[in-house]
Structure 1
Amino acid sequence: MLGIDRYVYRQCLTVLAFIAIGLCFAIWLSQSLRLIELIVNRGVSVGTFLYLALLLLPRFLEVVLPIATFAAILFTYHRLITDSELVVLRATGVSQMGLARPALLVAATASLLGFALSLYFLPTSFRAFKDLQFEIRNNFASILLQEGVFNSITDKVTVYIRQQSPSGELLGLMIQDERVDGRPATLTAERGALAQTDSGPRIVMMNGTRQELDRKTHRLSVLAFDRYIIELGDVRDAPGARWHEPQERYLPELFFPSGTQADRYYGHRLMVEGHQRILAPLYPFAYALLALGCLLGGEFNRRGQTWRLMGAIGIAFGVQVGNIAFNNLANKTPALLPLMHLNLLLPMAAGIFLMLRPRGRRHAAPAAAPAA
């Protein structure tokens, strides 16, 4: 790598790092607020909350990496133009490809990082996130029961407590259990406690009654008890029942799913996600070529740089919108999948054309005719 290449490469990479970190932090902060309900409603510790939020970072980094690459190249090369450094380099005989080489190396670096994220870190982190989220939401013992509120544990189990003591004892309990069809049961107790066992969570109720109504005979059965245990093992879904979403799967699992009924039904979504995993790491090249084509192509004009910047930003915005839109369309209509590839290839081709097209030459004014 030549000295000038190292200089421009280092400048671009530094700006890229700052922009990527800033964008990631902003997105991470906004998305992490959605996880606050796990602390408020589920009693999740702060450490678990931070771990969940950390698992989302690879997804955010994959999104911001192409944008950060585009912004870094645009900023660095615009500064080189305004400082006349590129003019000097051109005057020394450096070709268009020579000027573009550092930016393309930055795009290659971002692309390699993107492939690492797309093929390994993204599915690994997202699967860990969904597994932990699933465990939290289905583990009854981790649910924070709110006092004075009817807490819907499932569609068929509702728990009400008047008060919860600092030691965890539940006071003034009422449970509505409709898991047995046609025989709803209402349980009340003076006090109780949550217990976690190998067979699943349960509630131990003390000094209460159990009322069960047979809707066929309209007969009400009442049972008074000193101690009663209600099993809640079926509140928690079986771990193997959870379907792995496309974002959780590695590339072979996307293109060659297991063949379950859910996989066959969502097969087109898996296919679209597989193509997106391959295309996403290549977007740094598309954005880099767009930036280079707009800034290096054509005749140099210091006063026209603002319009070139605005044009590059507008085109990049259109490409990003197209990336999201065509992905959504392909999920609904698989026949539109080629549009995802065109959205990547067309900006790359346009950037190469703008950058390498022959530059216009200014013709000298004709000399004045000699006086007769």
Structure 2
Amino acid sequence: MGKIVHRYVFREIVVPFLFGLSVFTFILLIARLLKLIELVVTRGVPVLNILQLLSYIMPAFLEVTVPMAMLLAILVAFGRLSADSEMVALRSSGLSLYQLIAPVAMVALLATAATAALSVWARPWGNRALKTALFDLARTRASAGIKPQVFNDDFPGLVIYAEIIEATNDRLHHVLISDERDNTQHNTIFAREGAMVSNPATQAVTLRLRDGFIHTTDGRAGAEYQTHFEFYDVNLDLRQMLEGARQRERDPKELTLGQLGRAIAAKRTAGLPVLPELVEYHRKFSIPFACVVFALVAVPLGVQPVRAARSRGFTLSLVMIFAYYVLLSIGQALAEQGLLPAVVGLWLPNAIFGAVGLYLFERTARERTLVQLERMQSALAALRDRLLGRLGAEAAP
């Protein structure tokens, strides 16, 4: 009978898990999706490139939404079992809460393993691939964005004009550039020819001009002068071309676990600060472990008797997710500033939720009433009714 019950509970968890994963991931992606869609509309970036960028940022979102979905799934599953009196029937048949924990433990371990894989391998890969893809896309758009016999103003502070552009090698002829990037002076640049030069290592794109002169108007000195050159480089700022799509990541977020360990060892040997690397190192373990502590808290909360199991489960999951990630954000910020050791800042939320989960689980397993939880639920219900009543009164004519 135990195996049948375990399979039944497992199926009850899987469906809301998939639903929660889809909903939470979509919610977190909305802002980024709008910015990516803007690139298609305003910058003419191909849809396939947008889908590629989306695949690179997905691991960072899934790393967060997998624990969130697991918490929601357990709360909803056990809430439904309790609301339909199935939990009472299972306990009457001799099954304790400890015996029902097996399918929950399986889900928690699977979610932990998936989140760990996302954190240790997938997210660093995605960050590196995103950085490279954005540079390649910006470089391509920089070349394609300059049209012959058109004044191009895609780059901040620059207006670029070229009489002829060779399509085969992006070489420009008879180039005119108005450079107003320096507020104290204005440069007008004339060149016989120019070419796009990219540097993937520094992720910079330069317009290298040849055989020309610069007419400078110095606003402070009130003087004008000309400078002749054989070669002159104009660095192009690509940020505006992909504004909003690029979220620059610190280098530690692009490193795998092994690379982080080597970076920490090398910096310590050189006497350099290692706070960013230590914070990222502990983050790769603390977030996956959140699946375990979420399961520990969700089971006793889910089995509490309530009628609206699904709505209560969703509300509780949002409250717990908010509390956990607020604690995590505070701990991470304090650790990055050196006010807390990284291990404390990143693991404190797990320690707090784990302690609360053990306490709730032990009392629920012994079928003791959670007085504090009932009081909290009553207070939340009263607050909800008051807010709904106020909204209804304001809406009434």
**If the length of structure 2 is used for normalisation, what is the TM-score?**
0.69
* Cα distance in 1 between the residues matched to 2:62 and 2:235: 38
Larger Rg: 1
Shift of 1:38: 4.7
The answer for the alignment partner of 2:3 in structure 1 is: 2
Shift of 1:144: 2.2
Q: Does 1:294 align with 2:295?
A: no
SS of aligned partner of 1:335: coil
Superposition pairs for residues 254-265 of structure 1, below 5 Å?
254-257=260-263, 259=266
Superposition pairs for residues 95-244 of structure 1, below 5 Å?
95-137=96-138, 141-142=142-143, 144-145=145-146, 150-152=153-155, 158-161=158-161, 174-176=176-178, 185-188=187-190, 195-196=195-196, 202=207, 210-213=213-216, 220-221=225-226, 232=233, 235=236
* Cα distance in 2 between the residues matched to 1:60 and 1:28: 8
Alpha-carbon distance change, 175 to 40 in structure 1, aligned in 2, over 3 angstroms: farther
SS of aligned partner of 1:247: helix
Gaps in structure 1 of 5+ consecutive residues: 362-372
Q: Deviations over 1:122-152 (max 9, x none)?
A: 1111111112223434567446249656443
Q: Of 315, 318, 324, which aligns to 2:329?
A: 324
Shift of 1:76: 0.9
Q: Deviations over 1:61-99 (max 9, x none)?
A: 111111100111111111111111111110010011112
Q: Does 1:343 align with 2:349?
A: yes
Contact 2:252/2:280 (8 A) holds in 1: yes
* Cα distance in 2 between the residues matched to 1:120 and 1:292: 30
Alpha-carbon distance change, 305 to 53 in structure 1, aligned in 2, over 3 angstroms: closer
**What code does the residue aligned with 1:335 have?**
L
* Cα distance in 2 between the residues matched to 1:118 and 1:303: 37
Q: Deviations over 1:235-292 (max 9, x none)?
A: 599xxxx99622111113323317479x976621121111011111111111111111
Q: Deviations over 1:190-241 (max 9, x none)?
A: xx997556998657899xx844349799673488xxxx9976486599xxxx
Contact 1:174/1:188 (8 A) holds in 2: yes
Q: Of 249, 254, 258, which aligns to 2:255?
A: 249
Contact 2:180/2:186 (8 A) holds in 1: yes
The answer for the alignment partner of 2:202 in structure 1 is: none
Shift of 1:33: 2.4
**What code does the residue aligned with 2:97 have?**
Q
Contact 2:163/2:173 (8 A) holds in 1: yes
RCO greater where, 1 or 2, for CA within 8 Å and sep 6 or more? 2
**What code does the residue aligned with 2:9 have?**
V
The answer for the alignment partner of 2:367 in structure 1 is: 359
Contact 1:178/1:185 (8 A) holds in 2: yes
SS of aligned partner of 2:176: strand
**What code does the residue aligned with 2:348 have?**
L
**What code does the residue aligned with 1:253 have?**
Q
Shift of 1:329: 2.3
**What code does the residue aligned with 2:254 have?**
E
The answer for the alignment partner of 1:51 in structure 2 is: 52
**What code does the residue aligned with 1:19 have?**
G
* Cα distance in 2 between the residues matched to 1:28 and 1:283: 21
Once the two structures are aligned, what percentage of the paired residues are identical?
Answer: 25
Moved more, 214-223 or 54-63: 214-223
Shift of 1:19: 1.6
Alpha-carbon distance change, 213 to 185 in structure 1, aligned in 2, over 3 angstroms: same
- Tell me the matched-pair count: 340
Alpha-carbon distance change, 356 to 213 in structure 1, aligned in 2, over 3 angstroms: closer
* Cα distance in 2 between the residues matched to 1:302 and 1:45: 50
